[in-house]
Amino acid sequence: MIEILVTLAVLLLDQITKALSAFYLTTLPFHSYTLIDGVLNLTYVKNTGASFGMLSGARWFFIVLTVVACGFIIYFLIRERKTMHTFMKISVSLILSGALGNLIDRVFLGYVRDMIEPAFINFAIFNIADCAITLGVAFLMLDIFFLKNGKRFAQELEKRGELKKQAKKND
């Protein structure tokens, strides 16, 4: 249940912030508003590629890749639901919601709407979906590599693989 709530909440927040930025920021000069001088700007851009605009114009590639990734994530969440603990479910749900948020933009608009611009560093302009993916991956890595629950989950998957190998040998 937590997976559905996190996914829907982040997806809704992402789409609302994208719609508001498209509506308000496009009326400003340079489509930009300084939120915290020298630290954070809200700057509306249409991103047809991946991070930093890489692979610009590869819309269908990203759509197919994202659909496959989301399918795998949903399958994983359903299949492993009983063995996953809450922190891992939240981590994977953040990744899913971010992927879905950017997928919606690519499918319906042909580009992803970005608006969060760190002014203190030369970095990509990003959105809530990108933040969710980044946090989800960071949380998942933290969980798998440093927390006991993630290690138990990894060990469980490892045991299953070993059991399957033994079963094949016995056949």
- Catalytic pick among 14, 105, 114, 143: 114
Please report which residue ranges of the chain form alpha helices under DSSP H.
Answer: 2-24, 59-79, 86-109, 128-146, 148-170
Is residue 114 annotated as a catalytic residue, yes or no? yes
Strand partners, 36: 40
Site of tokens 């990894």: 154
Confirm if 56 and 106 have CB atoms less than 8 A apart.
no
Cβ neighbours around 165 below 10 Å, total: 10
Q: What are phi and psi of 114, to 5 degrees?
A: -120, 150
- Catalytic pick among 14, 37, 105, 130: 130
SS3 171: coil
Is residue 105 annotated as a catalytic residue, yes or no? no
Confirm if 44 and 31 have CB atoms less than 8 A apart.
yes
Strands 32-36 and 40-47, sheet pairing: antiparallel
Q: How far is CA 117 from the centre of its chain?
A: 18
Please list the active-site residues. Answer: 114, 130
